[in-house]
Copies of this chain bind each other. A is one copy, B any other.
């Protein structure tokens, strides 16, 4: 569906946005820790997002990752596009090389509905909105930490 790299990227970006105030910058290890991602892998992903100007980075002491005002209203789909590309939203569910209404696979109609719903979910949700939800405590980007006694 959505690659792990992309999921880390989305969670990381939401975290960065949720800390968007008074020039705060976050470094890789903080971000990786917050979203339960391996640090070096997280670094690669943030690199891509930075190169796509979805987030902004600054090297050196007092540097790190942050988000600028003009980046706040971007839809999450930008992250998906930067990391995974748009193919999830375009490809045939049964693996035909082309998805088209003129040469459809037998699941085309039903599949397209779900695929479009997914695309709309990512298209019509802004980074700002997601971060706001997290800041208000309504949702989370970090796994629930279970005590040893609790099972999954």
Contacts of A106 in B (CB 8 A): 14, 130-131, 133-134, 138-141
The count of residues in chain A whose C-beta lies closer than 8 Å to any C-beta of chain B is: 46
Q: Collect the chain B residues with CB atoms within 8 Å of residue A115's CB.
A: 114, 118
- A14 CB → nearest B CB, Å: 6
Task: Tell me the residues in window 98-130 of chain A with beta carbons closer than 8 Å to chain B beta carbons.
Answer: 98, 103-108, 110-111, 113-115, 117-118, 120-122, 124-125, 130
Residues of B within 8 A of A110 (CB): 120-121, 124-125
With A88-B1, A114-B118, A117-B113 as known contacts, state yes or no: A10 contacts B141, CB within 8 Å: no
Does A11 make an interface contact (CB < 8 A)?
Answer: yes
- 10 smallest beta-carbon distances between A and B, as pairs: A7-B95, A110-B121, A114-B118, A114-B117, A106-B130, A106-B139, A106-B133, A97-B143, A103-B144, A1-B1
- Would you list 17 pairs from A and B whose C-beta atoms are within 8 A, ordered by A residue? A1-B88, A1-B93, A2-B94, A7-B95, A97-B144, A98-B143, A103-B140, A104-B138, A105-B139, A106-B141, A108-B139, A111-B118, A113-B117, A113-B121, A114-B114, A114-B120, A114-B121
